[in-house]
Structure formats: C-alpha cells, structure tokens
C-alpha cells in the first residue's frame, strides 16, 4: 500500500494552472472500417528506447486485433528537437500525428493550440480507466475539465555516484551529502584522486534542453528558499537569491574544473552519453539524473550487469541542509490523440492497448517509471523488478514540479541560456540572473513577475 500511496502523490502535482482547452468531449469519427493507417509519433534516443520497444510490441498485436489497420510508428530520434519537430508536424493536417507522446507540462498549451483531441467519451467506455489513480487522470486534464492524455507514469531525480571511484578517493561508499558544500568537497576529493575522471555531471547547456532545466537548475533552485513561480500570486519570480546561488554553484564547479568539460557539456548527445558511456565506463563519478536510467542498464543494448554493485544513490540535499533536507523534481508523460486525426476511436484504441496492465507493467519496469495504475504499482512483478524503485518512489515526498503554464517552454529556454553563459564564462552568476530576469519579463510581461527574496 505504501507504493500505491506514493503513486498517487507522484502525479498529484503534475496538474497546475491550465489554459482553456478547445473542442468538445469527442469528435466526429470518419469511416473507421476497412483499410486505414494511424501514425504514432514519439521520442526515441540511444538511451531511451523502452517506448519504442513497447510500441513495436503493440503494433503487430493491434494490427492483428483490428483487420485493415496499419500502425505507422514514427520515432523522432533527437531528444532536444522532439518538441520542435512535433510542433511542425502538428502545423499541417497532412503530417499531424494520430497518437502523440505528450509531456504533461505541454498538454495545456497544446490543447489550447488545438493540437489535442478531448478523449472523455473514450475513457468513459474503457474498463481499465478505473485502474488509474485519480491524480493520474488529473495529469491529462485541461482547464476546461476535459481529458487530453492518458498518463504513462512519473519520475524523480537524485545523484548517481560510482562507489569504486568514491572508495579510491577516500569517500564513503554509502555517501549522502547534507548540503551543496559536501557535493563540492566530494568533487574536489575525486579530482585530486583521479584527474582523468569527471567529478560531477550536472546539465548546464542549451544543447541538453530540458535536462538542464529539470536535472540542473531547478534541482538546485528548489533546494533553496526560492522558487521560479509563486503559485499563490501566479507570478514568476525575479531577483531570486536562490537562482543566483544555483548559478553560483555552476560557477564554482567550472572555475575549479569539477564538472563535465565544455566539449561534452555543450554536445546535444550529452544526456545519452551520461547513461550509456560516462557512468558505465567509470568516466564520471557523480551525475544528477532521473529515475529512469537503470531501466537501460537492466537489459537491452546498453545492459550493464555490474551497475547494482557499482552505483550508489544519494538524495539531492537542500542548499544548506534546511528542512525538509532533500529535494527532487518530477515530470511525466502521457499518450494523447491528435485533434486532426480521421480515426479518433482507432487512435484511442491503440492507446488503450499500449497502456493496458500487461503493457504498462512492461513500460514502467523497463523505463523505471513510478507506476500510476493500481494493478501495476501493487504487483510483485513491478516491485521486485528494479531495486531502485523504492528509493526513487520515496523521493516523491520531497519533489517539485515544473510550472504548468503555456509559456514554460520559453522560460525554460531562458534558464538554459542563462546557465550556459555561466559555464562558458560569459557571465557571472549575478549577470546570468539579470539576463534571465530580463528575458522572463519580456516573455510574460512586467505585470506577471514579482521580486523574490
């Protein structure tokens, strides 16, 4: 029951301030008999292949169960360009997908833009819908109260560290820092012990995209007394001491050569290289990253049999160890039906098969997701599959979620620009904060910002 409670909590905060969606609770279906093709668009990288594996399993099963239907899988094999390419596809009826892999923070803006189809009529007739926690259902809602996506799971973030490298540097192999200074001290000890090892990877470039925002800047900011967005006033924060301190952490790392070298940090493949190369090959000692990484190490092309003995996990501490002591960030993805589909029922039926109990168990285990279906979250097969599930599920009590506003994507880009200016030496922490504040105000307007602490 503990995992069930955490599964609910994990997705409660994925909902937020939403824009009014458009459309009704359903759409007129075309001729959904005979020969027809539905396109499924989703993200795939060398480090993230589990969804592709799932869809390639579901495709023949669905086609066999639905004579005349062809499922056209269209993976976008670029992590940083996924949202851009998806937006371009949605811009034309000729290329708009029927089924979309949709980040929860994008649902509100994409629904408002008319890209997503409300699916309330479909889920009302789906017997599996009762297995989804109420909070998971809310993750796919628009401000109009209509459902635009079916949740696949959620995640948390922490610090991965190499026990062997720590032991060689004289550091404890059951390491748990209580503040940022202890992370820096560990990085210095590792640098002194083995100069060829990267002490810490924390994403800090535009090339790393949302990894920089969520696994990087926001992991730090939400460990201070500051925030990016005041949910009470519904305004964005400027002149944030916490943000300046977060940028200062990066400044210290790069001033002392304790972080990933710029040629790697600025590479668009940095995310996949951390999980498939830098960590498994012992090239990095610590990495701030997400709960999904072990999914690729357990089996598949990037299997790493020694990972359980080699890798330790530490909670991300707050800046100075202040209550609650630790912090994390959470997100989540859904499957949605594109609003321009000619086959809404067929498209939804594909989602229903992809996220049934059997397939949700496959995806949640192999992709290290915190499950959002009760019959998955409470199953022995799920709980025994990955020894990290208990650790990452426990972080939900400390976690935070990105502001779910339609302008978040632009603001996230401004954060990435600001922190990159710090790691490249183009700006101090204070200058980066000022540049971010200026960009933020231009994006949301002066009436939508307020001065922080």
DSSP conformation letters of 247-284: HHHHHHHHHTT-B--HHHHTSTTHHHHIIIIITTTT-E
Residue 409 lies in a domain: no
Same domain, 126 and 218: no
199 close to 259: Cβ distance less than 8 angstroms:
yes
Give every residue of the chain whose pLDDT is below 50, as ranges: 1-29
Task: Provide the residue range defining the domain that includes 256.
Answer: 157-329
Same domain, 278 and 314: yes
Among 401, 424, 441, give the residue marking a domain's end: 401
Centroid of chain to Cα 339: 24
251 close to 420: Cβ distance less than 8 angstroms:
no
What does the pLDDT read at residue 97?
97
- What is d(CA 299, CA 287) in angstroms, rounded to the nearest whole number? 21
Give the Å distances, CA to CA, from 440 to 142, 209, 221, 387, 436: 24, 17, 16, 41, 6
Q: How far does the chain reach from its first CA to its final CA, in angstroms?
A: 40
What does the pLDDT read at residue 58?
98
Residue 427 lies in a domain: no
Q: What is the CATH number of the domain that holds 146?
A: 3.40.190.10
The DSSP bridge partners found for residue 284 are 198
Residue 430 lies in a domain: no
105 close to 132: Cβ distance less than 8 angstroms:
no
Indicate the helix (H) or strand (E) that contains 37.
strand 36-43
Give residues with Cβ within 8 angstroms of 55, minimum separation 6: 40, 42, 71, 73, 354
Among 303, 329, 355, give the residue marking a domain's end: 329
What does the pLDDT read at residue 80?
66
Residue 434 lies in a domain: no
Residue 415 lies in a domain: no
Same domain, 282 and 381: no
What does the pLDDT read at residue 409?
86
Name the domain count of the chain. 2
Same domain, 309 and 206: yes
The three-class DSSP label of residue 44 is coil
Centroid of chain to Cα 27: 30
The three-class DSSP label of residue 190 is helix
Residue 411 lies in a domain: no
Same domain, 141 and 283: no
Residue 451 lies in a domain: no
- What is d(CA 79, CA 205) in angstroms, rounded to the nearest whole number? 14
Residue 438 lies in a domain: no
Among 355, 379, 401, give the residue marking a domain's end: 401
Same domain, 254 and 386: no
Same domain, 12 and 50: yes
Same domain, 245 and 203: yes
Same domain, 181 and 139: no
415 close to 436: Cβ distance less than 8 angstroms:
yes
Same domain, 357 and 268: no
Helix 408-423 × helix 104-112 angle, to 10°: 130
What does the pLDDT read at residue 141?
87
Same domain, 186 and 85: no
Same domain, 309 and 377: no
- What is d(CA 416, CA 288) in angstroms, rounded to the nearest whole number? 16
Burial environment of residue 144 by CB neighbours within 10 A (0 to 12, 13 to 18, 19 or more):
middle
Helix 429-444 × helix 408-423 angle, to 10°: 160
């Amino acid at each position: 029951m503990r995992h069930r409670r955490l599964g609910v909590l994990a997705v409660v905060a994925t909902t937020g301030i939403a824009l009014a969606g458009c459309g009704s609770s359903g759409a007129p279906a075309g001729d959904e008999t005979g020969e027809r093709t539905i396109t499924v668009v989703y993200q795939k990288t060398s480090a993230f292949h589990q969804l592709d594996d799932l869809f390639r399993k579901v495709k023949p099963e669905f086609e066999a169960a639905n004579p005349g239907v062809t499922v056209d899988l269209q993976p976008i094999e670029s992590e940083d360009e996924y949202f851009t390419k998806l937006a371009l596809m949605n811009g034309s009826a000729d290329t708009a997908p029927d089924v979309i892999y949709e980040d929860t923070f994008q649902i509100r803006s994409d629904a408002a833009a008319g890209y997503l189809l409300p699916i309330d009529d479909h889920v009302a007739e789906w017997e599996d819908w009762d297995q989804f926690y109420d909070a998971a259902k809310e993750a796919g809602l628009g401000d109009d109260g209509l459902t635009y996506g079916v949740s696949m799971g959620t995640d948390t973030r922490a610090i991965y560290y190499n026990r062997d490298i720590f032991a060689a540097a004289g550091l404890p192999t059951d390491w748990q820092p209580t503040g940022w200074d202890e992370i820096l001290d560990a990085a210095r000890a590792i640098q002194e012990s083995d100069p060829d090892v990267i002490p810490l990877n924390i994403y800090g470039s535009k090339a790393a995209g949302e990894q920089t925002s969520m696994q990087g800047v926001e992991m730090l900011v939400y460990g201070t007394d500051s925030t990016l967005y005041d949910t009470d006033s519904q305004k964005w924060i400027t002149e944030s001491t916490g943000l300046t301190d977060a940028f200062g952490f990066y400044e210290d790392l790069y001033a002392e050569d304790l972080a990933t070298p710029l040629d790697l940090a600025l590479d668009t493949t940095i995310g996949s290289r951390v999980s498939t190369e830098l960590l498994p090959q012992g090239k990095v000692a610590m990495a701030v990253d997400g709960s999904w990484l072990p999914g690729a190490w357990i089996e598949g092309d990037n299997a790493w049999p020694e990972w359980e003995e080699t890798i330790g996990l530490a909670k991300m501490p707050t800046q100075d160890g202040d209550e609650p002591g630790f912090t994390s960030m959470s997100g989540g993805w859904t499957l949605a039906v594109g609003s321009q589909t000619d086959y809404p029922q067929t498209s939804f039926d594909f989602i229903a098969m992809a996220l049934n109990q059997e397939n949700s168990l496959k995806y949640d285990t192999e992709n290290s997701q915190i499950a959002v279906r009760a019959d998955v979250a409470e199953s022995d097969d799920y709980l025994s599959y990955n020894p990290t599930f208990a650790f990452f599920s426990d972080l939900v009590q400390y976690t935070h979620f990105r502001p779910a506003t339609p302008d978040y994507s632009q603001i996230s880009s401004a954060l990435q620009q600001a922190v990159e200016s710090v790691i490249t030496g183009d700006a101090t922490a204070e200058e980066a904060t000022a540049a971010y504040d200026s960009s933020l105000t231009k994006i949301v307007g002066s009436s939508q910002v307020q001065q922080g602490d």
